Amino acid sequence: MTRQLSVRRTTIQGQRILENRLFDTRHLSEDLARPLSPEDMTVQAMEDASPTKWHLAHVTWFFETFILTKHLPGYRVFDETFNYCFNSYYESQGPRQPRPRRGVLTRPSAERVLAYRAHVDAGLADLFARGVETGSEIARLIEIGINHEQQHQELLLTDILALFAANPLRPAYRARRPHAVEPEPAAPGWSEFPGGLHRIGHDGAGFAWDNEAPRHDALVHPFRLADRAVTNAEWLEFMADGGYREAAHWLADGWTAVNREGWDAPLYWEKHDGQWLAMSLEGLLPVEHAAPVCHISYYEADAFARWAGKRLPTEFEWEIATQGISDAAIAPVAAEPRSLPADSPRQMFGAVWQWTLSAYLPYPGYRPPAGALGEYNGKFMVSQQVLRGSSCATPPGHTRATYRNFFYPHQRWQFMGLRLASEIS
């Protein structure tokens, strides 16, 4: 085989892999929406959450706006009014439906949104038929579009849970998956890590968001990290010990939130006949003692850590702890990473997003990318905390050791939990 032929084959292979990933991702979004009625897909449970129909349309608008209108000759915009309806927060793309009012979009119908998806998918297929060079600008944008849609797949599940938890019938999104009830785990073990300068951030191999770079040195003091996430059983102890009633455990803003919101348990927990139940995608179920606690705010995570005489890890400490974990352990959605060295922390990925002590700030030398997509991450770098890992709702292939998720400290509707850390004195 001549070199030229071999290069061409590699290019075609690279294009096919990208195309398959794109359409697998597009199909997964529709699969996730399949158990839902058009009514389920339209209602917005609260300001932070978006309707399923909006998610399905917005990720499609993203491909249409940032790729097809610019790079597919002769592309016809499906509906000029959709830019207003389905632009999320891109100032560069003009005015938009306010986020808290996405639930009033009874029109366009769910059926028309699916027709929109089909129209844009046909455009994307056309783009690939014309050739998408590996490493080209178009390939890069498609990769961003895939990762963007994956983020919304997780949000779609998160937001459906918020909706069904607000419904007095407490419907289940899906049937309960068979699983063994784990015994209550023993007290956590502690892994020790040395201090010094550590390399932090994405090394440039494979996809990463702009906020994961530049890779840089961070000075870290010696620390200990719990080898598992905090469990519901431990959270029940915190509650029984008056954790939600003792101001001394709480940051001032957290204590204000506790009193304003009347928090006395994680979001979605409700007490029936003396037993705690929690709303989940599988319906209202007894709180499982061995499972990681989920749906807690940063304020609650911080208060728990203080009550336990520990603290949350910084995002750097968290990342350092994953550096011995193989990629195979990170990959699929699994409550328990596989193939870990015996002394590695467990549940770093696939269980709950883990609050860190780190404010969401730019890494040294960070510059938002030029153009509209510069609005993706950089402009949110204030007043939020970083969460690391991934959750049970994170789609396959969307997990990385350097991934920086971020939410406001009062928010708790994501699949959020915590892991403890401490100094080595």
Q: Are the beta carbons of 140 and 127 closer than 8 angstroms?
A: no
Q: For the window 224-253, what string marks contact with Fe ion as x by the rule CB under 5 A? A: ------------------------------
- Selection from 95, 407, 374 nearest residue 267 by Cα: 407
CA of residue 213 relative to chain centroid, distance: 18
Structure tokens at 66: 């940032």
Task: Pick between residue 50 and residue 385 the one whose CB is nearest to Fe ion.
Answer: 50
The residue with tokens 């940051």 is 251
Which part of the chain contacts Fe ion (CB under 5 A), choosing from 86-94, 186-194, 274-282, 356-364? 86-94
Task: Pick between residue 88 and residue 150 the one whose CB is nearest to Fe ion.
Answer: 88
Shortest distance in whole angstroms from residue 88 CB to Fe ion = 5
Select the residue whose beta carbon is closest to Fe ion and give its number: 88
Structure tokens at 235: 């959270």
- Selection from 13, 120, 21 nearest residue 75 by Cα: 120
Shortest distance in whole angstroms from residue 90 CB to Fe ion = 9
**Distance between CA atoms of residues 118 and 135, nearest Å:** 26
**Distance between CA atoms of residues 406 and 318, nearest Å:** 14
- Give me Rg for the CA atoms of the chain: 22
Q: For the window 39-78, what string marks contact with Fe ion as x by the rule CB under 5 A? A: ----------------------------------------
Task: Pick between residue 88 and residue 322 the one whose CB is nearest to Fe ion.
Answer: 88
Task: Pick between residue 88 and residue 385 the one whose CB is nearest to Fe ion.
Answer: 88
Shortest distance in whole angstroms from residue 227 CB to Fe ion = 35
Q: For the window 108-147, what string marks contact with Fe ion as x by the rule CB under 5 A? A: ----------------------------------------
Sign of the Cα pseudo-torsion (296, 299, 305, 311, in order)? positive
**Distance between CA atoms of residues 349 and 322, nearest Å:** 10
Residue type, 407: F
Task: Pick between residue 65 and residue 88 the one whose CB is nearest to Fe ion.
Answer: 88
Beta sheet of 405-407, edge-to-edge order: 405-407, 385-388, 353-359, 416-417
Q: Is 377 in the site for Fe ion (CB under 5 A)?
A: no
The count of chain residues that interact with Fe ion, using the rule CB under 5 A, is 1
Which part of the chain contacts Fe ion (CB under 5 A), choosing from 43-51, 88-96, 259-267, 365-373? 88-96
Which part of the chain contacts Fe ion (CB under 5 A), choosing from 80-88, 200-208, 259-267, 360-368? 80-88
Q: Is 88 in the site for Fe ion (CB under 5 A)?
A: yes
In terms of Cβ atoms closer than 10 Å to its own Cβ (0-12, 13-18, 19+), residue 327 is exposed
Which part of the chain contacts Fe ion (CB under 5 A), choosing from 27-35, 82-90, 188-196, 335-343? 82-90
What residues line the site for Fe ion (CB under 5 A)?
A: 88
